[in-house]
Amino acid sequence: MISTFLAALNSLIVALRSGGVWHRCQRFYGLPILIRQPGARLEIGRRVVALSKPRLNEIGLIQPVVFSLLTPEAVIHIDDDAGLSGCTLSARREIRVGQGTMIGSGVLIMDHDAHALPLPGTHGSVAVKPVHIGREVFIGARAIILKGVTIGDHAVIGAGAVVTHDVPAHHVAVGNPARVVPPETE
């Protein structure tokens, strides 16, 4: 009862600090870390649950939830009923997470490379490409979703996968670099 109240209070604190809309049905167990440039938008839907306390996840958490919005244009949108367990979402432009999607412990999702890499064509700027994750996607523990990736509805991302390319809806992708597992044939 008290923890439910505190979880609703934590979500209110995040909404106040991010300038976002608060829904009383959100539950944030433990306070997430919020890094936000003025103007950046953190949009969190109804009934979203975020776990930032190690004991609340059956495999433990290695970190609190981190929302990192690094430019004034950045948007992180998390749709209704999504669940986040001690993961990082870091946006310079846009990360969208669909309704009912579950993001596992230690997952890292970023729409940028964080540093200007000395690659041909980058001109000293940080590469940025939006990340879109569909509805009811399951992202296993410690997976990494890199810039420019779109993951279709109901896809499953295996634990520890490094996802560098799109994953179609209703498919499973595993490994580093993540590859789609061929559907079983009878």
Ligand X SMILES: CC(C)(COP(=O)(O)OP(=O)(O)OC[C@H]1O[C@@H](n2cnc3c(N)ncnc32)[C@H](O)[C@@H]1OP(=O)(O)O)[C@@H](O)C(=O)NCCC(=O)NCCS
Residue ranges in contact with ligand X by CB under 6 A? 59, 85, 104-105, 140-141, 156, 158-160, 172, 174-175, 181
Pairing state between β 179-180 and 172-174? antiparallel
Asked if residue 130 lies in contact with residue 111, where contact means CB atoms within 8 angstroms, the answer is yes
Residue number, 15 or 162, with CB nearest to ligand X:
162
CB of 33 to ligand X, least distance (A): 18
C-alpha dihedral (143, 146, 150, 156), degrees to nearest 10: -10
DSSP annotation of 62 reads: S
Tell me how far, at minimum, the Cβ of 85 lies from ligand X, in Å.
Answer: 5
Choice between 40 and 134, CB closer to ligand X: 134
* Contact in structure between 50 and 84 (CB atoms under 8 Å): yes
Minimal distance, residue 101 CB to ligand X, in Å = 12
User: Which residue, 75 or 174, has its beta carbon nearer to ligand X?
Assistant: 174
How far apart (Å, rounded) are the C-alpha atoms in residues 8 and 181?
39
Which residue, 91 or 141, is less far from ligand X as judged by CB?
A: 141
Least distance (Å) from ligand X to the CB of residue 167?
11
36: nearest Cα among 53, 14, 52, 11 = 14
CA distance 31 to 175: 31
Nearer to ligand X, 40 or 141 (CB): 141
- In 3D, which of 55, 101, 59 has the Cα closest to residue 77? 101
CB of 131 to ligand X, least distance (A): 19
Residue closer to ligand X, measured from CB, 39 or 60? 60
What is the spatial distance between Cα 128 and Cα 76, in angstroms, rounded to a whole number?
14
Q: Provide, rounded to whole angstroms, the least separation between the CB of residue 17 and ligand X.
A: 26
In 3D, which of 110, 98, 11 has the Cα closest to residue 52? 11
